[in-house]
């Protein structure tokens, strides 16, 4: 019988620094929010303005830095100041 002892395995240390990229396409008619966190920002989407505002207020109440992007129309964001308008209306009613 013949036994071979292999002690030298090839080792390769590869470290790649890749640019992060968004791996999704914005959906037309959806509302988008961005949670600013380290090291990556988290983008959330919701179908209706009510659910998007609910999520925005919950994260804002917890103390997270959250950015309202608005409703995507296929080319740019619309309704990008909706939470500020609602806050102004609530203050005016009091």
pTM recorded for the entire structure: 0.66
Q: Is residue 89 part of a domain?
A: yes
- Count up the domains in the chain and report the number: 1
36 domain-assigned: yes
For residue 83, being part of any structural domain is answered with: yes
**22 occurs within a structural domain:** no
Range of the domain at 77: 31-93
Residue 81 included in any domain: yes
Asked if the structure places residue 58 within a domain, the reply is: yes
**Residue range 14-67, pLDDT digits in tens:** 555 555 566 667 888 899 999 988 888 889 999 998 999 999 989 988 988 988
CA distances (Å), 1 to each of 4, 8, 22, 65, in order? 10, 22, 57, 69
> Is 21 within the bounds of a domain?
no
Q: Is residue 65 part of a domain?
A: yes
Span 60-76, average pLDDT: 90
């Amino acid at each position: 019988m013949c036994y071979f002892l292999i002690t030298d395995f090839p080792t390769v240390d590869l470290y790649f620094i890749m640019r992060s990229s968004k791996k999704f396409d914005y959906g037309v008619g959806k509302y988008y929010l961005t949670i600013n966190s380290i090291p990556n920002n988290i983008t959330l989407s919701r179908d209706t303005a009510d659910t998007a505002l609910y999520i925005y207020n919950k994260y804002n109440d917890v103390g997270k830095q959250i950015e309202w992007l608005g409703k995507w129309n296929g080319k740019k964001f619309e309704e990008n100041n909706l939470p500020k308008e609602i806050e102004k209306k609530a203050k005016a009613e009091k």
